[in-house]
Structure 1
């Protein structure tokens, strides 16, 4: 790469994102898993009985989009939804036994993927990559919230 030409970050990021999704989709095919479903499982592993609002926010998705995804996951036996005991207006989402098993297997697959993706990079390089990805997400999410 010449000093005057910056890397084609958007092209590289888009290609990497597609490759990661294909990897996740292929690896999770036996369970009907997708990257989006994996995100829900990982969040619920760390945040049992999360509210719909918390889950949507963590996934950076709309409530409507999250609701559709959760309906598919519920019909697949991965999650259950129930009204909050203290406030019936709030819906809580929890992993089922099957969902917990699939979440554990998904976590193992993600650990494998992370090991492959980080192989050959030192901590400082990975910290820079993580900082850049976080920055890109932050900048673009801020722009999304100010439009309209």
Structure 2
């Protein structure tokens, strides 16, 4: 395991390579998640993200576009993912009460159980990531990550 070297005493502090560190962190988190197959019994990690969105809606069905926006992906990706999830019994499609052209997704009981298992593992991961940091430091990290995620709004053509 490699460590980040600190600048020698008396030298100006080197600026951290944030993009490199973010990429490495994302890959490490992804590998950590992938080594917990028990968390994804019945649902993949990508499907768990969709289940978390539906759980946050407290039983109210969500439109594909709403889910896509919350996950930061294209609606077509949510459509494809939801088809596999419907076949697996994790979500069901329901007609919109006010617009018959719109289909919404609702989590099934099986989806709720799969989401709970995945959520337990992510609570563990969040705890490990926050270990050794104060609440204020974690808030700074969260604010920085939100700022990084907001870069997507500046993409051309969006």
Aligned position for 1:11: 20
Task: Please tell me whether the aligned partners of residues 41 and 114 of structure 2 are also in contact (alpha carbons under 8 angstroms).
Answer: no
Do 1:51 and 1:93's aligned partners in 2 also have CA atoms closer than 8 Å?
Answer: yes
Q: Which has the larger radius of gyration?
A: 2
Alignment-derived partner of residue 91 in structure 1: 103
Alpha-carbon distance in 1 for matches of 2:97, 2:34: 35
| Higher RCO by CA contacts (8 Å cutoff, separation 6 or greater) | 2
Question: Per residue, is there more helix in 1 or in 2?
Answer: 1
Q: Is the 8 A contact 2:40 2:118 kept in 1?
A: no
Unpaired runs of 5+ residues, structure 1, are none
CA RMSD, Structure 1 to Structure 2 (Å): 1.7
Matches within 5 A, 1:1-148: 1-2=6-7, 3-27=12-36, 28-34=39-45, 36-47=46-57, 48=59, 49-138=61-150, 140-144=151-155, 146-147=156-157
Q: CA deviation at 1:58?
A: 0.3
- Cα contact 1:25–1:33 (8 A) shared by 2: no
What TM-score comes out, normalization by structure 1 length?
0.89
TM-score (normalised: structure 2): 0.84
Q: How many correspondences in the alignment?
A: 145
Ranges of 4+ aligned residues in structure 1 off by more than 6 Å: none
5+ long unaligned stretches in structure 2: 1-5
> Structure 1 stretch 52-61 or stretch 25-34: which is displaced more?
25-34
Task: Output the CA distance in 1 between the equivalents of 2:13 and 2:134.
Answer: 26
